[in-house]
Structure 1
């Protein structure tokens, strides 16, 4: 693995035998190294593949602004998150997380308030990511000697969830979160219930809403009505779920100009009936 660019003593851009460009990180691995030199593999602590053209320049500019210890924290957070979530995360998370944490620390030191308008929703809908993020606040305090506000746990959790979605942007993730919030509120007020957030039915419902919102924003919703016969059957069996689904449809049409097909509406009725029926019985 040969060096193509030295960012600083601890970070370098390399190329392997297959001409794959990778960023490698490790204490002192690039010290007194130059282009063409071979990296000491034993010093490598973290690697990630360069995701796109232009990344190198952005990364170099970021390294000029962000202390190495924050990059190390970011790397450790990603490792912890992948282990806890049992999934790979987008490599761009290393940079976006480091940039966010650095800015959050700066604002905290300057006494500027940090508020996340979706903090409450994030705690509800992304509970695994939020629990990890709360531990991250402890890690940052231990390493950097500064305690970030609790709202920062929600912001970090959104970064983690966003990295699970592949190339989903943060703005899209926040819109998805708002859609899930609005639809759950419609269901809650229609039936006059409170959700048991630990229940399996609630978990299934939220998973369905996330996936629906993701496909909706990417214009990947079903375009046919193959389940129209099932729609009529479910509509007849669950009239209250149908009435609630109509409210959801009105919201989607008003806010996003989206019209659900009958098969999408069928899935909604089934999920709404299941979660509302169990909650009302409880």
Structure 2
């Protein structure tokens, strides 16, 4: 492999056998070398393949001053999330998670352990992402001997949420509050307590997550006809009105518009989640 750019003593930019641009990492791989020199496969410990040009350029700049063990750990966590947990992640996760893990470790070493005000909501509405956060801090402990607090697992979880929704972090931070408020609206409007351990509750939470994801990706369900909507309105008027209220709340919070079809399906899930509570 021919070196295109030396990033630091341990990281170089090169191409793989299919002529795809990659970032190759290995101890001393760039030391004493120049652009145009060759590097053997046996010297490479880890490879980052980032398809998006802009992300690749930002990643090169960021990793120049980050210790190699932290980069390898981050890549291992992302690979685990994709290959084991089957998450579909934006490539921006390489930027955001590397930066956060590096900062979290430095912060911990300086004796700073910030509280996470969203911990309850993150655990409740994003258990898979929170489990990935816990996996990350266990890996940090196993490899570096540093025991970061569980609050960091919550912060890391939000990066995985962000990478799935392809939102800005400020929008991601509002999602747990959004989920909590939606549940509160259902309980208040229909005067029920929701069973968080029921399958209907789990499906309702999942439906809301996908609804918001479709909203951010501008992939709302289309309004094909009003027959289904009219039927729901007539048969389940309370649930339909509750769905309208939630739709208006989401629109207000996200500054986006929800289709009538989305609102109708929302009413169906509200009916299902409240059936066992009546």
For residues 43 and 168 of structure 2, the distance between their equivalents in structure 1, rounded to whole angstroms, comes to 33
Q: Secondary structure at the match of 2:249?
A: helix
1:215 and 1:175 mapped to 2: Cα distance?
A: 16
- The residue matched to 2:4 in structure 1 has which SS? strand
Structure 2 vs 1, CA of residues 221 and 64 (structure 1 numbering), >3 Å: closer, same or farther? same
3-state SS in 2 of match to 1:7:
strand
Q: Aligned partners of 1:3 and 1:56: how far apart in 2?
A: 16
C-alpha distance 233-144 of structure 1, shift in aligned 2 (>3 A): same
* Helix, strand or coil at the partner of 1:117: coil
Distance 1:239 1:262 in 2: 15
2:116 alignment counterpart = 116
In the alignment, the residues of structure 2 paired with residue 35 and residue 239 of structure 1 have an alpha-carbon distance, to the nearest angstrom, of 69
1:145-182 deviations in Å (ceiling 9; x for gaps): 322221111111121233334x4433333344433332
Is 1:263 the counterpart of 2:267? The answer is no
Q: How far 1:192 sits from its partner (Å)?
A: 3.9
The separation in 2 between residues aligned to 1:202 and 1:42, in whole angstroms, is 51
CA distance in 2, matches of 1:28, 1:195: 57
Taking structure 1 as reference, are residues 2 and 197 closer, same or farther at Cα in structure 2, changes over 3 Å only?
Answer: farther
1:67 alignment partner in structure 2? 67
SS in 2 for 1:247: helix
**Aligned CA distance change for structure 1 residues 42 and 160 (closer, same or farther; 3 Å):** farther
1:170-209 aligned within 5 A: 170-209=169-208
Q: Could you tell me which residue of structure 1 aligns to residue 211 of structure 2? A: 212
Root mean square deviation of aligned Cα: 2.6
Alpha-carbon distance between aligned partners in 2 of 1:193 and 1:25, rounded to the nearest angstrom: 55
The residue correspondences of 1:76-91 to structure 2 (distance < 5 A) are 76-91=76-91
TM-score normalised by L of structure 1: 0.85
The answer (yes or no) to whether the contact 1:29–1:40 under 8 Å persists in 2 is no
User: Matches of residues 53-64 of structure 1 in structure 2 within 5 Å?
Assistant: 53-55=53-55, 58-64=58-64
How many residues align? The count is 278
Distance 1:156 1:86 in 2: 17
Q: What is the rounded CA distance, in whole Å, between the counterparts of 2:228 and 2:175 in structure 1?
A: 28
Structure 1 regions of 5+ residues with no counterpart?
none
TM-superposed CA distance for 1:273, in Å, is 0.4
Given that 2:55 and 2:91 are in contact with CA atoms closer than 8 Å, whether structure 1 keeps it comes out as: no
Q: 1:260 to 1:160 in 2, by over 3 A?
A: closer
Alignment-derived partner of residue 271 in structure 2: 273
Q: Secondary structure at the match of 1:85?
A: coil
Instruction: Normalising by structure 2, report the TM-score.
Output: 0.86
Alpha-carbon distance between aligned partners in 2 of 1:91 and 1:225, rounded to the nearest angstrom: 32
Whole-angstrom CA distance in 2 between matches of 1:160 and 1:254: 25
Structure 2 equivalent of residue 127 of structure 1: 127
Q: 1:189 to 1:27 in 2, by over 3 A?
A: farther
Instruction: Give secondary structure in 1 for the equivalent of 2:84.
Output: helix
Summarize the Cα distance change of 1:60–1:14 in structure 2 as closer, same or farther, 3 Å threshold: same
TM-superposed deviation, 1:55 = 4.5
- Shift, 1:131, TM fit: 1.2
Greater alpha carbon shift after TM alignment, 55-64 vs 74-83: 55-64
Give 1:104 shift. Answer: 1.4
